[in-house]
Chains A and B, each alone.
Chain A
């Protein structure tokens, strides 16, 4: 009986650890979200860039985007919320929009087009995967340093 209880306890502990791991896997997924204010062409129609768009994330102003500008932020988790204060044309009153997006798990970089989103286009029009090309430095082979020493200052 005692032995049985011991194994049940061990099994429950293992299960709890696995559940925590799965939870961390889901809630900790990081994404880089690129937000751009560029004219979008979709199904033969053109959706023009805004005159100005202020992007607020987590209560802080991330950037003020003019036409053809882009900004980026990092997000942990699968949902992203931002506030946009948009001026569509020069001299217009700015309007405030709150954007809530569910981020695809498999995408590292996500490009969100503001004019497309505001035009209520389908998600595939204004949200695309953004893959960064490796820089020239990253693309060149590096020599592996496998010596024993580490910089002492780091310790």
Chain B
């Protein structure tokens, strides 16, 4: 075999290794789409809707990855901040786009405080950021429930009976966001062949992408990349590593809050006690499906991930129903795949790290051998 052929084989193998998850999803979707029987226009409509709904949330994960903090399960904190802001805005009866904008502004202080707490704790748990942020999100969820269930209406003023529980305090299981439902999606919406394109939402997402690209080139962005590559080297170069890491988590939390508000304005109602609980898991799964890893993610991964993950979300129940006669199988399949893909990505990341370590070791051993031979 010639060197050229060997190189081509290596490149193909590397491509397969680096893109196992997206390729797996492309195969799953290719099998499930014809079985589900959905029309292309229906699928396109659904994908565009879900792209507008979820892309912002997933984009919020990019900055902590850049700073070497892995997949930020703590984005749930931002989601909770966004929900609290929406509860207040609903109670103040601010509707439509002003309501969404006000909710975003109100969510900022909550997100910043939660992001600071999360960042400080993650700095104490360097190298174990993902599991720590996952547990932090459970802890803060408890505090969120305490606030929403007992303090709102009793200590924190909530005026409207339609939001408050009949006992006089606590928030209802569902808060209606009907008066701001799809207000951003419908403004400037374009219809092409039965497919609704939420132009304004997509424009906001595009601006967010540009902002991330710009941010990477700023001094802070460069610092984050340096911290992400090697904390010790970054520290020696005079970068305040701890501060940079906290800022990355704060930015991610604030963006997650905005993303959650955009997500809920599309849905049109807020499940007070559960809307945020799985958001982190699904966003991370979608990003990984797009080909991202724990230490590397791009804007392209976000869009490919949303498309593939949600395509699977849409077709799996119907395909499951057609294959097995029970749509719940497809439902379980979706959950299984969400958790499975995260596990697979983590295993692959660990394998890659070990392989790299081993290859460095081999190179070192080879160099030592050569040195000994020279002597």
Which A residues fall within an 8 A CB radius of B?
17, 20-21, 23-25, 27-31, 74, 76, 108, 134, 138-150, 152, 154-155
A74 engages B102 (CB within 8 Å): no
A134 engages B331 (CB within 8 Å): no
Contacts of A138 in B (CB 8 A): 161-162, 166
Contacts of A21 in B (CB 8 A): 102, 105-106
Contacts of B173 in A (CB 8 A): 142-145
13 contacts between A and B (CB under 8 A): A24-B101, A29-B92, A30-B179, A138-B161, A141-B165, A144-B165, A145-B274, A146-B274, A149-B277, A149-B278, A150-B274, A152-B313, A155-B313
Given A24-B98, A25-B92, A28-B99, A155-B165 contact (CB < 8 Å): no
A25 engages B94 (CB within 8 Å): yes
A148 engages B274 (CB within 8 Å): yes
Interface residues on B, range: 35 or more
3 A-B pairs closest in CB distance: A28-B98, A30-B95, A28-B94
- Any A CB within 8 A of the CB of B252: no
Contacts of B170 in A (CB 8 A): 144
**Closest residue to A105 on the B side, CB-wise?**
B93
Q: Shortest beta-carbon distance, B290 to chain A, in Å? A: 16
Contacts of B282 in A (CB 8 A): 155
- Any A CB within 8 A of the CB of B149: yes
A28 engages B149 (CB within 8 Å): no
Contacts of A147 in B (CB 8 A): 273-274
B274 engages A30 (CB within 8 Å): no
- Any A CB within 8 A of the CB of B275: yes
Q: Shortest beta-carbon distance, A39 to chain B, in Å? A: 30
- Any A CB within 8 A of the CB of B343: no
Contacts of B212 in A (CB 8 A): none
Q: Which of B159-205 contact A (CB under 8 A)?
A: 160-162, 165-167, 170, 172-173, 179
A141 to B170, CA, bound (A): 11
- Any A CB within 8 A of the CB of B233: no
Given A141-B165, A142-B173, A152-B335, A74-B95 contact (CB < 8 Å): yes
B95 engages A148 (CB within 8 Å): no
Q: Shortest beta-carbon distance, A145 to chain B, in Å? A: 6
Given A17-B105, A20-B101, A25-B94, A134-B166 contact (CB < 8 Å): yes
A31 to B92, CA, bound (A): 11
Contacts of B277 in A (CB 8 A): 148-150
Q: Shortest beta-carbon distance, B375 to chain A, in Å? A: 57
A146 engages B273 (CB within 8 Å): yes
Q: Shortest beta-carbon distance, B308 to chain A, in Å? A: 14
- Any A CB within 8 A of the CB of B271: yes
Contacts of A134 in B (CB 8 A): 161-162, 166
A140 engages B166 (CB within 8 Å): yes
Most interface-central of B98, B99, B145, B172 (chain A CB within 10 A): B98
Q: Shortest beta-carbon distance, B89 to chain A, in Å? A: 8
- Any A CB within 8 A of the CB of B225: no
A145 to B267, CA, bound (A): 19
Contacts of B105 in A (CB 8 A): 17, 20-21, 24
A20 to B106, CA, bound (A): 11
Contacts of B162 in A (CB 8 A): 134, 138
A146 to B277, CA, bound (A): 10
**20 further A-B pairs in the complex, CB-CB below 8 A; given A21-B102, A147-B274, A150-B277:** A17-B108, A20-B105, A21-B105, A23-B98, A24-B105, A25-B92, A28-B97, A28-B98, A29-B92, A29-B94, A30-B93, A30-B99, A76-B96, A108-B93, A141-B167, A142-B172, A144-B273, A146-B145, A152-B331, A155-B279
- Any A CB within 8 A of the CB of B54: yes
B98 engages A76 (CB within 8 Å): yes
A108 to B101, CA, bound (A): 20
A114 to B273, CA, bound (A): 43
A154 engages B267 (CB within 8 Å): yes
- Any A CB within 8 A of the CB of B245: no
A27: contacting residue among B98, B160, B278, B279, CB under 8 A: B98
Contacts of B98 in A (CB 8 A): 23-25, 27-28, 76
Most interface-central of A30, A134, A140, A149 (chain B CB within 10 A): A30
**Closest residue to A74 on the B side, CB-wise?**
B179
Given A24-B101, A24-B105, A25-B102, A142-B274 contact (CB < 8 Å): no
Most interface-central of A23, A28, A144 (chain B CB within 10 A): A28
Contacts of B94 in A (CB 8 A): 24-25, 28-30
A141 engages B96 (CB within 8 Å): no
A139 to B162, CA, bound (A): 9
